[in-house]
Structure formats: C-alpha cells, structure tokens
C-alpha cells in the first residue's frame, strides 16, 4: 500500500510538472521542489545506470508528465484565460508554502552561512530579469513546419535541449525559454491531440531527453558537492518566481480577493504535500 501511494504521488507530480512546462512563466522545476521530489528526480535521471535503477519511478513520472502536457494543457490554458488572477495566485500559494520545506532540505547537513546570500540574490535577479523580458514581449515569430527539414530538425533538437535544462531548474520556465528561442508556438501547435505533427514532436522530444539527462547530471553533482549553496540558489529562484507569475491584474479588486482565497488553498496544498513527504520518510526509516 505504501508503494502504491508513493507511485501515485509520483504520477501526480508528473502531471503537475507537465502542466507547468506548457505555461510560460510557470516553472516545472519549482513544482518538483514544491512536491519534494526534486533531488530524487535529478538523481534518477543523472545517468544510464541511475535511469535503469529508477525505471519504475521514471515510468510513473513520465506517464504523468505526458498526460499533463497532452491532456491538461488546454484546460489550464483556459483557466489562465478566464481566471488568470486566481490561477496565478494558486501557483504563488504553492510556491510560498514550499519555502519552509526548501529551507529544511537545504540545511539538513549544515547551517546557513553569510555566503549563502550571494547565490540567493543572484538567483532572484535572474528570475526577475527573465520576467521583465517576458513582459516586454520579446518573442521571435513561430516557424511553420509542414515536412522534414534537416535545418528545422536540428533547430528543434538544440532548442529542446536548452529548454529542457530550464525545465528542471526551479524558478526558470522552460516554456518562456522556448518563447525566447522562437519555438513555443511551433511546439504547442504540434502537440494538439487532433493534429499531432511528428516532424516537430520527434526531434523536440529527443532534445528534451538529452537536455534533461545532461542537466540533471550536472545538478545532481552540484547538490552532492555544494548542497547548501545550491539550495540557497534554489530558494532564490523559487522566491523570484513569485514575482515572475504575479498576475498583471493584481490589485485592490474583487478578482484579487478571490485570488487570495486561491493562494491560501495553494499554501495548504503545499503544506499537505510536505507532510506527506515527511510521513514517507518516517516510514522508510
């Protein structure tokens, strides 16, 4: 029963990760931190041996991510379109509720040092800068792909690798990086269930796989060698992402009032997930 609940949680985390990565400004990596599986995932995909060892975990996570991307992307997009403030505030609640857990994970082996302020401030600055660039609408025109092209295939593969690394870094939005590279609309148009475009999907999916495995390997090594500094940066990326997804219509109005209710639900969700993670850890010991 314990294993069933664990893999159900992993499956749900995969769905949330998939949904987050199709929404510009929302970080899939942050959602992994919120749900307490960031270390586990980066370690599980840090090499061929690690992948084989954690294959069941990755299957459940991968299935969830696929369902999140293909099945829920349109629903979430609709929520952002019709209830943008409330939806963003819920995500902000998730992020804020995860801060104590991130602190606990980062300081599990050593206490906070004054030097931790440097990666924290730099990380906040990076996320805020990217958010400002997004608000400036610096987005190249989307490419229309109707057949096989070596140049387009290579472009999609390379862009996917770059975006994939961003996907697993808390606070950074893989979708926004795709927008900056000019492939976001191309990819989103290609994964519509009624009209799948495999000339786009195949090279992009291969690029994502290579990028995630390579990025995860680097992150896993850094966490092992410089855990406190890495988590200081992660805390900065997560805190900075609150500004990044702060709704444009935020203000003293009824929508924001409803939004704060959603924010509280987000915090509650994050706290409950954190407690579930503590329960699992206690049972494993």
pLDDT digits (tens, 9 = 90+) for 133-173: 767 765 555 566 667 778 888 888 988 898 888 777 776 66
Helix (H, G, I), strand (E, B) or coil at 214: helix
Give the pLDDT confidence of 45-86 residue by residue, as tens digits. Answer: 877 888 899 999 999 999 998 888 777 766 766 777 788 788
Q: pLDDT at position 143, please?
A: 63
Least confident of 10-14, 59-63, 77-81, 246-250: 246-250
Residues in the chain: 285
Q: pLDDT at position 59, please?
A: 93
Helix (H, G, I), strand (E, B) or coil at 39: helix
Of 159 and 182, more confident: 159
Buried b (16+ CB within 10 A) or exposed e, 169-184: bbbbbbbbbbbbbebb
Q: pLDDT at position 77, please?
A: 66
Q: In 3D, which of 25, 34, 19 has the Cα closest to residue 135?
A: 25
Q: In 3D, which of 177, 238, 241 has the Cα closest to residue 208?
A: 177
pLDDT at 280 over 60: no
């Amino acid at each position: 029963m314990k294993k069933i609940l664990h893999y159900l949680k992993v499956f749900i985390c995969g769905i949330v990760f998939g949904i987050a990565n199709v929404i510009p400004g929302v970080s899939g990596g942050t959602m992994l931190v919120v749900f307490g599986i960031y270390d586990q995932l980066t370690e599980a995909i840090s090499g061929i041996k690690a992948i084989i060892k954690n294959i069941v975990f990755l299957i459940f996570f991968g299935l969830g991510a696929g369902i999140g991307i293909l099945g829920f992307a349109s629903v979430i997009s609709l929520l952002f379109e019709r209830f943008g403030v409330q939806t963003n505030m819920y995500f902000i609640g998730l992020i804020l509720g995860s801060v104590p857990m991130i602190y606990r994970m980062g300081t599990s082996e050593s206490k906070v040092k004054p030097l931790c302020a440097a990666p924290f401030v730099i990380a906040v600055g990076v996320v805020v800068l990217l958010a400002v660039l997004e608000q400036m609408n610096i987005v190249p025109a989307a490419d229309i792909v109707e057949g096989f092209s070596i140049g387009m295939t290579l472009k999609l593969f390379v862009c996917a690798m770059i975006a994939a690394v961003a996907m697993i870094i808390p606070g950074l939005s893989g979708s926004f990086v795709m927008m900056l590279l000019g492939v976001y609309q191309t990819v989103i148009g290609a994964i519509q269930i009624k009209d799948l475009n495999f000339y786009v999907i195949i090279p992009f999916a291969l690029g994502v796989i290579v990028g995630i495995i390579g990025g995860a390997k680097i992150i896993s090594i850094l966490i092992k060698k410089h855990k406190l500094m890495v988590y200081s940066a992660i805390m900065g990326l997560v805190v900075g992402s609150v500004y990044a997804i702060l709704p444009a219509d935020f203000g003293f109005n009824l929508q924001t009032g409803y939004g704060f209710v959603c924010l509280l639900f987000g915090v509650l969700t994050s706290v409950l997930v954190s407690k579930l993670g503590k329960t699992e850890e206690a049972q494993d010991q």
